[in-house]
């Protein structure tokens, strides 16, 4: 077997794919159009979330998007635009947002997250990356209103039914768990099954490990064209070089759809923009939380607390909308009244694009029309959580091994 593989994309999925392919003895080259220091893999909340069993494409989400469409500060924002790909994706998203399809997705999302959670632990225990933050303190769903509580209680009941650890906390129990910060909330649902990391710590360590193992990391290199004939990908042409690999992995996040077009493939994807603010001073926050009414995430990372959130569909751009950053700052203050995020912290906010498929499930698997192409993208808000398992599954696919789970439902060739 020719063991030369090119991975297009150097985010968490691309690097984890390189990690597991390298373990299988493949000669791996990673190509990324940036310098692998920014983007969704660096600005996410760092969650490992088996509790997130409900896909983004769920009943009522399109209605919420339309309702919020003309408020660019809203947590779920879809910028009105006449774009054929976006309109097609929106219709597919709508068709996927049914109770039956959500029900089918739940066990799949649970299984793939649990496998990935264990792989994070395996990677840490291997010592390959040295030491890095990997904690299992769970995730607090903080709520102010009964409506939010009742909404999350339905999810929590289902999470418990699926065998995952979840408890309910009243105000006093919440205070006992988080004694060093004032929280303006009526209570919380605590998903004890979840964990968290510091992405800006893991990514450089993973990158350094791959370089030490002889993986070629080619940064600031853009793919200009991809040539195929008779169902085989023959050549990748970049602005710096040409490659003729035996196998190719497309893990370019939100840009994967555009790259797929170069092979006359239709890969329905939209970039869902998220924002983060880092507070590099003591906040007293020790457990990750989602602030339900503010629809944002809070994570105590190594050296700072991260406040992250929003899902913005406005095209593949990295423009920082100040009103959305301010919404995060204000949302944090509403739950942590003693915390004021200052103007310097607001001005240093960053953004990243998460690749979102129409049904909220990732694309993982071989292309049916290009037999030496494997696709790994479309993870929406679970990209960080599912990075290791995606890399493992891709390495199994390319090695012709039995996959760690059935990936039929993740097929990049599926219809909506």
Flag whether pLDDT at 275 surpasses 60: yes
Residues in a beta bridge with 170: 187
Average pLDDT over every residue of 9-32: 98
Q: Which of 85-94, 220-229, 368-377 has the lowest mean pLDDT?
A: 85-94
Please state, in angstroms and rounded to a whole number, the distance separating the CA atoms of residues 29 and 22.
Answer: 10
Query: Is the residue at 415 inside a domain?
Result: no
C-alpha 154/C-alpha 294 separation (Å) is 19
pLDDT over threshold 90, residue 75: no
416 inside domain: no
Q: Which residue in 20, 13, 77, 21 sits closest to 39, CA to CA?
A: 13
DSSP states of 220-280: S--EEEEEEETTEEEEEEESS-EE--SEEEE--GGGHHHHHHTTT-----EEEEEEEEEE-
368: in domain: yes
pLDDT surpassing 80 at residue 394: yes
The residue range of the domain holding 207 is: 4-410
Residue 402 DSSP one-character state: P
pLDDT of the residue at 162? 96
Question: Would you state the pLDDT for residue 1?
Answer: 56
The fraction of the chain above a pLDDT of 70, given in percent, is: 96
Asked if 256 and 377 touch (Cβ cutoff 8 Å), the reply is: yes
Average pLDDT along the chain = 94
Per-residue confidence (pLDDT) for residue 68, from 0 to 100:
60
Give 75 or 179, the one with higher predicted confidence: 179
Does a structural domain hold residue 73?
yes
Is residue 193, in this structure, part of any structural domain at all?
yes
Residue 67 has pLDDT above 80, yes or no: no
Q: State the pTM of this model.
A: 0.95
Distances (CA, A) of 13 to 41, 237, 238, 246: 9, 22, 21, 20
**Residue 405, domain member (yes or no):** yes
What mean pLDDT do residues 213-218 have?
A: 98
pLDDT computed for residue 70 by the predictor: 59
Using CA atoms of 212, 214, 218, 224 in order, give the dihedral in degrees to the nearest 10: -150
Residue at 333 is within a domain: yes
Quote the strand ranges of 65-165, DSSP E.
76-78, 134-135, 139-143
Q: Which range (44-53, 75-84, 216-225, 235-244) has the least confidence?
A: 75-84
pLDDT given for residue 259 in this prediction? 96
Within a 10 A sphere around the Cβ of 365, how many other Cβ atoms? Answer: 21
Does the pLDDT at position 157 exceed 70?
yes
Number of domains in the chain: 1
CA-to-CA dists, residue 84 to 33, 97, 258, 348, angstroms: 25, 20, 13, 34
Q: Output the CA–CA distances (angstroms, integers) from residue 73 to 77, 309, 394, 398, 400, in the order listed.
A: 8, 11, 37, 43, 47
pLDDT tens column, 47-65: 999 999 998 888 877 666 6
- Is the predicted pLDDT of residue 76 greater than 90, yes or no? no
Q: Which helix (H) or strand (E) holds 30?
A: strand 27-31
pLDDT of 82 > 90? The answer is no
Q: Is the pLDDT of residue 338 over 80?
A: yes
pLDDT at 317: 82
Least confident of 68-77, 194-203, 218-227, 330-339: 68-77
Q: What is the pLDDT of residues 276-322, one digit of tens each?
A: 999 999 999 999 999 999 999 999 999 999 999 888 888 888 888 88
Interatomic CA distance for residues 137 and 415, integer angstroms: 38
Residue 73 confidence (pLDDT) above 70: no
Please, where are the H alpha helices in 314-398? 322-335, 343-347, 387-398
% of the chain beyond a pLDDT of 90: 87
The CATH number that applies at residue 71 is 3.50.50.60
Query: Would 52 be classed as within a structural domain?
Result: yes
Q: Among residues 221, 193, 189, 183, which one has the least CA distance to residue 117?
A: 193
Question: Which residue has 């299988």 as its token pair?
Answer: 24
């Amino acid at each position: 077997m020719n063991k030369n593989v090119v991975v297009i994309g150097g985010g968490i999925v691309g690097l984890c794919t390189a990690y597991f392919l390298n373990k299988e003895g493949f000669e791996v080259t990673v190509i990324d159009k940036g310098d692998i220091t920014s983007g969704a893999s660096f600005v996410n909340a760092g969650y490992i979330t088996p509790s997130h069993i409900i896909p983004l494409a769920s009943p009522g989400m399109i209605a919420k998007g339309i309702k919020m469409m003309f408020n660019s500060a809203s947590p779920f924002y879809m910028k009105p635009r006449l774009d054929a790909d976006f309109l097609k994706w929106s219709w597919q998203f709508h068709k996927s947002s049914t109770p039956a399809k959500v029900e089918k997705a739940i066990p799949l999302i649970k299984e793939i997250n649990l496998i990935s959670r264990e792989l994070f632990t395996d990677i840490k225990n291997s010592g390959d990356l040295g030491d890095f933050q990997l904690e299992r303190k769970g995730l607090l769903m903080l709520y102010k209103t009964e409506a939010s509580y009742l909404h999350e209680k339905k999810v929590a009941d289902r999470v418990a039914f699926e065998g995952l650890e979840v408890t309910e906390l009243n105000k006093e129990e919440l205070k006992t768990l988080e004694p060093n910060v004032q929280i303006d909330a009526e209570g919380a649902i605590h998903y004890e099954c979840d964990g968290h990391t510091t992405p800006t710590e893991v990514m450089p360590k993973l990158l350094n490990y791959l370089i030490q193992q002889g993986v070629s990391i080619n940064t600031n290199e853009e793919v200009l064209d991809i040539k195929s004939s008779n169902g085989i990908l023959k050549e990748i042409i970049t602005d710096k070089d040409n490659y003729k690999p035996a196998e190719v992995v497309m893990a370019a996040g939100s840009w994967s759809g555009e790259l797929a077009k170069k092979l006359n493939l239709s890969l329905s994807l939209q970039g869902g923009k998220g924002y983060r603010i880092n507070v590099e001073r003591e906040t007293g926050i020790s457990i990750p939380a989602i602030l339900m009414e503010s629809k944002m995430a809070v994570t105590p990372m190594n050296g700072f607390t991260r406040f992250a959130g929003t899902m913005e569909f406005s095209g593949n751009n990295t423009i920082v909308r100040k009103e959305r950053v301010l919404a995060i700052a204000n949302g944090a203050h509403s739950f942590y009244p003693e915390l004021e995020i200052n103007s310097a912290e607001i001005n240093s906010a960053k953004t990243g694009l998460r690749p979102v498929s129409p049904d909220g499930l990732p694309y993982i698997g071989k292309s049916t029309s290009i037999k030496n192409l494997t696709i790994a993208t479309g993870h929406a808000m679970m990209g960080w959580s599912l990075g290791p398992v995606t890399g493992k599954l891709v390495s199994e696919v390319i090695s012709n091994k039995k996959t760690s789970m059935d990936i039929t439902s993740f097929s990049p060739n599926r219809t909506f």
